[in-house]
């Protein structure tokens, strides 16, 4: 999370090229949405006993249990993406490459807005990310796959999201205060959908889908020295502190 924020802080909308980052989580961890109360939604004692790290994201939304997933983050300026009718519509634009990715894997993804039954309530807030249904959440055969969140500070678009390779939602639910099975009903992973490719192949397919969707060339680069220093400082002063991770203080 410190690297994600370092990329965001280092981005200059006037001069920087868009950035796509691909990463994963090892060991598993729990990330809180920016405005969640840790002690209100998580069994912190169980997290402590099991050694499960808890970190807070700079984006909103519900808790995500990160394990056996492919994670991405994207930083760009509004003028660097295809035209969008509204802020909400930009979310559709910026998740379009995920639809292309799932199609490359032989799946038939769709936005919740386009396939849910009439009268279905979308946008209801939930403590557990995968339990909610937003308009542009991606569904496969009616079940939600992954989750995405966006933030727009100082003229920059920052978005990141989770693509579950294996379904670990039930494992994450065990660390919630509310553990109703309904919270993981209708949640699927790539493996659940019959996709059993190796992480390296999935990453290559995601890159190809991104290139195809946005008609861009991608150049692989390490973090710059400035980004590395920023991330290191953020780890020390923010992301390794209970003040930020559990209380949300220190933006």
For 81, the enclosing helix (H) or strand (E) is none
Phi first, then psi: what are they for 155, rounded to 5°? Answer: 75, 20
Q: What is the 3-state secondary structure (H, E, C) of the chain?
A: CHHHHHHHHHCCCCCCCCEEEEECCCCCEEEECCCCCHHHHECHHHHHHHCCEEEECCCCCCEEEECCEEEEEEEECHHHCCCCCCHHHHHHHHCHHHHHHHHHCCCCEEEHHHHCCCCCCCCCCCCEHHHCCCCCCEEECCEEECEEEEECCCCCEEEEEEEECCCCHHHHHCCECCCCHHHHCCEECCCCCCCCCCHHHHHHHHHHHHHHHHCCCCCCCCCCHHHHHHHHHHHHHHHCCHHHHCCCCCC
Identify the active-site residue in 129, 193, 196, 213.
129
Counting runs of H as helices and runs of E as strands, what totals does the chain give? 10, 11
Q: Identify whether 76 is a catalytic site residue.
A: no
State the catalytic residues.
129
């Amino acid at each position: 999370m410190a690297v994600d924020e370092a990329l965001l802080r280092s981005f200059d909308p006037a001069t920087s090229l868009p950035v796509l980052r691909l990463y994963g989580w090892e060991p598993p961890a729990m990330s809180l949405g920016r405005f969640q109360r840790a002690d209100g939604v998580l069994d912190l004692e169980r997290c402590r006993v099991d050694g499960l790290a808890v970190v807070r994201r700079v984006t909103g939304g519900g808790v995500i249990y990160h394990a056996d997933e492919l994670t991405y983050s994207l930083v760009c300026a509004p003028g660097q993406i295809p035209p969008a009718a509204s802020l909400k519509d930009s979310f559709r634009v910026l998740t379009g490459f995920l639809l292309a990715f799932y199609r490359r894997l032989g799946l038939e993804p769709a936005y919740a807005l386009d396939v849910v039954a009439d009268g279905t309530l979308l946008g209801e807030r939930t403590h557990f990310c995968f339990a909610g249904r937003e308009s542009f959440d991606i569904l496969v055969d009616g079940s939600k796959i992954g989750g995405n969140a966006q933030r727009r500070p100082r003229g920059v678009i920052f978005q990141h999201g989770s693509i579950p390779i294996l379904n670990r939602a039930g494992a994450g639910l065990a660390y919630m205060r509310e553990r109703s099975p309904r919270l993981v009903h209708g949640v699927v992973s790539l493996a659940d959908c019959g996709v059993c490719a190796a992480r390296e192949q999935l990453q290559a397919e995601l890159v190809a889908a991104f290139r195809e969707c946005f008609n861009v060339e991608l150049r692989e680069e390490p973090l710059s020295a400035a980004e590395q220093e920023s991330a290191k400082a953020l780890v020390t002063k923010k992301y390794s502190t209970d003040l930020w991770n559990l209380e949300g203080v220190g933006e």
